[in-house]
Amino acid sequence: MDHLIPSEGRAEWRAHWTVVVASIVGIMIGQAHLYSLGVMTAPLEQEFGWSRTQLNSGLLIISMVIFPLAPIVGMVIDRIGPRKIALCGVITYTLSIALLSLARQPLWTWWLLWLLVAFGHLLIKPTVWVTAITSLFRKSRGLALAMALSASGLAASVAPIVTALLLESFGWRTAYLMLGGIIGLISVPIIGLFFWSARDKRPTFAPAAPKSTAPAEIKRPLRDELKSFTLLKLVATALIMSIVGAGLIVSMVPILKSSGFSTANAAAIVGVIGVSQIVGRLSAGLLLDRVDARFVGAVTLSCPLVTCLILIFAPGSAPLAILAVIVFGVSVGAEVEVIAYLAGKIFSPTNFGTLFGVIVGLMSLGNGLGPVLGGLSYDLAGSYVPALWGAVPLSLLSAYLIVSVGRYPTPSIDADR
């Protein structure tokens, strides 16, 4: 891959590759609650008699917590760095996943446990990992973000299968307990040893950071950037794409089951999303360092409409179901990366945590609304088809918004100002 990365980019990788690895682990474990919920839906529904809207309401609670607090966490990251936030977050999140095993009637106990998940998840949102990578990489930023954010694709591939195996072997309570233990044992030591940003004290074993020859980035007032129309467009795009993406992710197993697939086969097909997500993210990462990010985003943000149309018009077809999740995975793989890349190019690095925190807050709101709207579609119409039809124009709207952002500044442009 050396011929695809400029010499200064290779120097960045030699100095900071462990940060990308730690970010992969952090992002991967941070998706456990999302990708396990679809597998857990049937046994929870059977034991407690809750509707799917009620079961998915935990994700809405996460959104309600993260939506107002993500910018505040981003502001703290801008002041103390992401390392301390990440370490606190992985410990809190690990414990909260394990505590989901304590769910009981009445419904408010489920909501209380998801409130704990929300606070843990708040501290390991992409803002933490993206801020660190953006501070350390310039020439190879697109690829570094792609490598890190591809972890959600790994989670999409691994989490449903691992959760299904634990569920079939031990039941849902022990499955949640063991899932929390597994992610804690993996994540805490890796992030503790290998994760830092440009403002954190580097471990003694870390390679020396390369000297950058790039022009200094312009610092802009936070107030001006918060009022910018560009931020509004990125926020709207993030909200729409997360509603569509999270709604499809959580509902995909139930959608396939309603089309005649068994739980195991549906989970296996959904696992394909993860592989295609990784391919889409890595491909986008290489493109973003070379091609206008707006056009990469427009193509990928349009892809979910293909998935929805296949699921509507060809239910029960295994080959087409696999095609649908592959297209969806490629789209999901590139979406967040495009937003993160554009934000890193457009906004001042001193304000990045705060501004990306605003974007992440809206993404989290969408992540909560999407599954609830999908579950509501099923509860009211007995089908996910109305929700699938609604996702089609939303996909087109998000593609239009990302193109309308306008040309983002390049280092040479900034240097001339």
For each successive 10 residues of the chain (417 residues), what is the average pLDDT?
56 83 92 86 87 82 86 88 92 94 89 94 90 83 83 78 88 92 92 83 54 54 77 90 88 86 84 81 80 86 91 87 90 83 80 84 82 85 89 92 72 37
Asked whether the CA dihedral 357, 360, 366, 372 is positive or negative, the reply is negative
Alpha helices (H) in 259-351, listed in sequence order: 263-288, 293-302, 304-313, 318-346
pLDDT value for 6: 54
Residue corresponding to tokens 């296949």: 310
pLDDT value for 213: 47
pLDDT value for 411: 41
Neighbours of 409 (CB within 10 A): 15
pLDDT value for 124: 93
Query: Helix, strand or coil for residue 1?
Result: coil
**Count of the separate structural domains present in the chain:** 1
The whole model's pTM is what? 0.73
In a domain, 206, yes or no: no
What is the domain range of residue 42?
7-199+221-405
In a domain, 284, yes or no: yes
| CATH code of the domain containing 272 | 1.20.1250.20
In a domain, 344, yes or no: yes
pLDDT value for 417: 34
pLDDT value for 22: 94
In a domain, 415, yes or no: no
pLDDT value for 416: 37
pLDDT value for 346: 81
